[in-house]
């Protein structure tokens, strides 16, 4: 009789433990795309159902096991890593041209902003090569034109025209990988009471669940 009771208690404890682990897994709602970063609140993979509503701008895409985020002003960028504690997302440009991203990416209607300090630079389109002290941006240049990033205060040669002056993290450098330099963003969540309450509730429940995991 004692052995039977012990067996029943063992089954009950095991079952409860399993429920807690399942609840923990479901609550954290972590999604994956290939070998990319863990994806959870506030991000969500498009087309996958989670326990929270997708926030505008935080929807990610998963195609061919590659995680990307779409910006209407530029296109898709590959998500390299996400740090939820520090609110950092590192991106890669599939076109291998971070300067092209800087020149065209408009973050004004998104929850993101550049992580690094920004400084104004002018993009010059020149019909001839400039002196060696100016460094040409290869991924933006062609056989008949040459693109440079320069300080806006500099004199513009007659063979050049200013395409755009924009605040960017870095001017072009040939010494670093051109598909990732400066493509680190940070984000802000919408300042609505609903989202504040959701975050507070989520953190409270998460702490309680972690204690049991």
pLDDT digits (tens, 9 = 90+) for 7-41: 454 444 443 333 233 344 444 568 889 888 999 99
3-state secondary structure 196-212: HHHHHHHHHHHHHHHHH
pLDDT at 45 over 60: yes
Q: Where are the domains of the chain?
A: 1-104+180-213
CA distances 63 to 46, 79, 89, 107, 162, Å, are 10, 12, 19, 23, 37
- The model's pLDDT over 171-204, given as tens digits with 9 standing for 90+, comes to 888 877 667 778 999 998 866 534 554 555 455 4
Cα 56 to Cα 5, 10, 88, 149, distances in angstroms: 54, 47, 17, 32
């Amino acid at each position: 009789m004692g052995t039977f009771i012990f067996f029943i208690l063992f089954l009950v404890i095991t079952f409860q433990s399993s429920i807690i682990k399942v609840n923990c897994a479901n609550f954290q709602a972590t999604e994956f795309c290939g070998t990319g970063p863990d994806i959870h609140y506030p991000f969500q993979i498009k087309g996958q159902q989670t326990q929270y509503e997708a926030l505008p701008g935080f929807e990610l895409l998963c195609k061919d096991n590659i995680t990307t985020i779409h910006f209407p002003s530029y296109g898709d960028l590959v998500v390299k890593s996400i740090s939820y504690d520090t609110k950092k997302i590192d991106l890669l440009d599939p076109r291998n041209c971070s300067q092209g991203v800087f020149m065209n990416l408009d973050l004004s209607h998104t929850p993101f902003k550049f992580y690094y300090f920004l400084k104004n630079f002018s993009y010059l389109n020149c019909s001839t090569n400039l002196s060696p002290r100016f460094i040409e941006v290869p991924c933006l240049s062609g056989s008949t034109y040459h693109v440079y990033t320069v300080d806006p205060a500099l004199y513009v040669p007659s063979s050049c025209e200013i395409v755009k002056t924009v605040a960017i993290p870095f001017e072009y450098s040939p010494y670093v990988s051109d598909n990732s330099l400066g493509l680190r963003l940070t984000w802000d969540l919408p300042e609505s009471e609903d989202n504040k309450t959701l975050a507070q509730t989520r953190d409270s429940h998460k702490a309680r669940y972690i204690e049991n995991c």
